[in-house]
Structure 1
Amino acid sequence: MQQVIIVTGPAGAGKSSVAAALCERFDRMVHIEVDTLRHMVRAGYRHPWIEGDAQATEQRLLATRNAAAIARECVALRYAVVIDDVAQSSVAAQYREALAGIDAHVHFVTLLPSLEVSLARDTDRSASIPDRVRALHAEFSAEAAAGELPGIVLDTSNDPDAALTADRVQDAVGQGVALFMEP
């Protein structure tokens, strides 16, 4: 049976690098970058973090549903999937609805390094967003402390590279501690 792994966390958590490292380990795995799906909106694009903006909320849901639709097609053709997204608990609920009935185990892994590590990683990007990194880190930290995030939360502050974090994700999936949904 195929697996779907949702890798989430604040900006600068290493989601894309870890997703790529996971894909390198398998013969048939698809990496769905939700940022890419969001940026397919060419007219009327809204940043997903704009509070109280109906169009931003709609586009957030559109991206989640599109990621789920792609995941369904991949699973149907026997590909495992890793979804790379900034998905707090409210977005996890959208994934639960959009992936209902999928013929795969779905795992939810939150990467949550320290704020300092996230900010350091953000400075390496071409489009650094330190204020957004701080805000997202605070949101994820609060939800993690309250036990609101499904699956498992991994502190990746001391992981030397994405390959080691991918090992930890793979171990969590294998042990069933990141399980979010069953077929």
Structure 2
Amino acid sequence: MKIDDYDWNYFCNTCYFEDGAEELLHSLNASYKLGVISNGVSVAQRKRLTAGNIYDMFESIVVSDEAGIRKPRKEIFDLSLNELGLSNHEVLFVGDSITDGIFLITGVMASGKSTVAQLLAEKFAKGVHVRGDMFRKMIVSGREEVLPNAGEEALRQLRLRYRLTAATADAYFEAGFNVVLQDVILGPMLQEMAELLRNRPLYVIVLTPNQEEIAKREASRPKKGYGLWSIAELDRQLRDETPKMGMWLDSSSLSPEETAEEIWQRVWTEARI
């Protein structure tokens, strides 16, 4: 037997547990459905589960080389959910890293999205800040701005912008980066944007400073966003028409640095969808 054959057989037929892990699995198996999602070689992963006498604990075992999809693609999680007969709101995914993910920041104009997204992205060893508005600016002729009572073409261009933003975020994430993307995404389109993003985990952060604070921030910045849009109307769309998903943060009394730190402390438990 060659050395590499020996190593491979040893790898496939051994299973070691962290302290308490085996007992925890038995306890969970008594009350919950369990599943495994693995990026790996199916024959090896299945043999290792068998070697640990835990194969039969799992009602779903999804391995990337069989599925043709790797984590963190959303589709591989959907396969496991289908096998378990559960929705994503009924499961808890346990991974080996709590800081990987795509972080979607939204809010009205002048709510601090861009500055906070930059600060948040800088907290990662490999972080990317995707500015959704850059895709709007790329249109040099024929651009339709999203105004009150926007027409069909303006909405078509807006959805194109969101698709490009999501695809860019996914591409960076699949290349090993943590991605913070930000744009004005209000109403039902926030749910649409979450569905456009293929990868998970996904964290949604909605910044909700009050109207007085928004007016102050708008007055102090060089670019102006309000005019045809009023602060009151955009704020109404945010609060009344946007689904209450993820983490909603009133940043009225917080500096950008304080807002980014507040997100960093709370996002892992409050913003994941």
How many pairs align?
A: 173
Alignment identity in percent? 25
Match of 1:154 among 228, 241, 249: 249
Looking at structure 1, the residues matched to 177 and 213 of structure 2 have their Cα atoms a distance apart, in angstroms, of 32
How far has the Cα of 1:49 moved from its partner? 3.2
Deviates more, 1:39-48 or 1:110-119: 39-48
Tell me which residue corresponds to 2:146. Answer: 48
Tell me which residue corresponds to 1:173. Answer: 267
* Structure 1: gaps of 5 or more residues: none
Contact 1:6 1:82 in 2 (8 A): yes
Aligned alpha-carbon RMSD (Å): 1.6
Which secondary structure does the structure 1 equivalent of 2:190 belong to?
Answer: helix
Tell me which residue corresponds to 1:142. Answer: 240
Q: Between the two structures, name the one with larger relative contact order (CA 8 Å, sep ≥ 6).
A: 1
Written as runs of structure 1 = structure 2, the 5 A alignment for 1:30-179 is 30-100=128-198, 102=199, 104-131=200-227, 132=229, 133-143=231-241, 148-159=243-254, 161-175=255-269, 177-179=270-272
Query: Which structure would you say has the larger Rg?
Result: 2
Looking at structure 1, the residues matched to 226 and 140 of structure 2 have their Cα atoms a distance apart, in angstroms, of 25
Contact 1:64 1:94 in 2 (8 A): no
TM-score (norm 1): 0.87
Which secondary structure does the structure 2 equivalent of 1:87 belong to?
Answer: coil
Looking at structure 1, the residues matched to 225 and 115 of structure 2 have their Cα atoms a distance apart, in angstroms, of 18
How far has the Cα of 1:130 moved from its partner? 3.6
Which secondary structure does the structure 1 equivalent of 2:215 belong to?
Answer: helix
Q: Which amino acid aligns with 1:127?
A: K
How far has the Cα of 1:50 moved from its partner? 4.4
* Structure 2: gaps of 5 or more residues: 1-96
Contact 1:110 1:152 in 2 (8 A): yes
Contact 2:188 2:241 in 1 (8 A): no
